[in-house]
Amino acid sequence: MSLELFNLKGKVALVTGATHGLGMAMAMGLGKAGATVVINGNSSQEKIDNALKEYAVAGIEAKGYKFDVTNEADVKANIIKIETEVGPIDILVNNAGIIKRVPLEEMEVAEFEQVIKVDLVSPFIVSKSVVKGMIARKSGKIINICSMMSELGRSTVGAYAAAKGGLKMLTRNMATEWAKHNIQTNGIGPGYFATSQTAPIRVDGHPFNDFIVGRTPAGQWGDPSDLEGAAIFLGSKASDFVNGQVIYVDGGILATIGKPANED
């Protein structure tokens, strides 16, 4: 009985920005739990096709759709297409996002607005299009991918922090408005993970690597697969009375102020 709480067989899960990295890791987890996975990307069809090959190798049934999550008309058209060709969307993971590392005083307004549009406005756009079907069916799971920057500031990522802080509150408000329809809206806040993007700095002696390893109570970078459990939990029946929460998968960083330099 307890394992059935996490069984996603027969469910359709749409994961935006899931052609690589953490989005792919979470989509893989949902697929392993039995869901039919629909991935989204916008950079190229080739990238989507290559990602689908990786899902197939992992034994996961996946479909791919290219559309711009910041374009409401594009989103609406593709949600209709997905639900017609694959089936009603039971689980939505708003993962697509960007970051621009620029000091706030040097950042162009257009750059700031772009980050807000992708990281905060697009989860609103996609959720708005998907949730109407969920409301009609009286069932659904929405998972917004937040960040430790939903809680903390950090130099040069002001726009990203503003967006992810806003996404935390948007998650709570979605829960407030949609819980009555048996829709659970929650978030996942990843910490620092070992991905291809972080590979160049994940070497002993690199200042940032040493900082992360020393700052994280677990004493290591996260593996992308560490996100699978949180995604499965929030996408499954096991979380049916969990609403408006953000689960931080960060090895304990947010739990502590850190340790003094003279402490082992």
Active site residues: 160
Q: In what order do the strands lie in the sheet with 183-190?
A: 62-66, 36-41, 12-15, 91-94, 140-145, 183-190, 246-249
Closest among 93, 26, 7 to 229, alpha carbons compared: 26
Q: What are the two backbone dihedrals, phi and then psi, of residue 172, each rounded to the nearest 5 degrees?
A: -65, -35
How is 126-144 classified by DSSP, letter by letter? Answer: HHHHHHHHHHHHT-EEEEE
- Give the C-alpha separation, 15 to 21, whole Å: 12
Name all contacts of 1-5 with Cβ < 8 Å and 24+ positions apart: 4/237, 5/236, 5/237, 5/238
Closest among 70, 159, 76, 81 to 117, alpha carbons compared: 70
Q: Which residue has the tokens 């102020």?
A: 257
Contact yes or no for 143/89 (Cβ under 8 A): no
Q: Crossing angle, helix 158-178 and helix 109-116, to 10 degrees?
A: 30
How is 21-85 classified by DSSP, letter by letter? Answer: HHHHHHHHHHHHTTPEEEEEESS-HHHHHHHHHHHHHTT--EEEEE--TT-HHHHHHHHHHHHHH
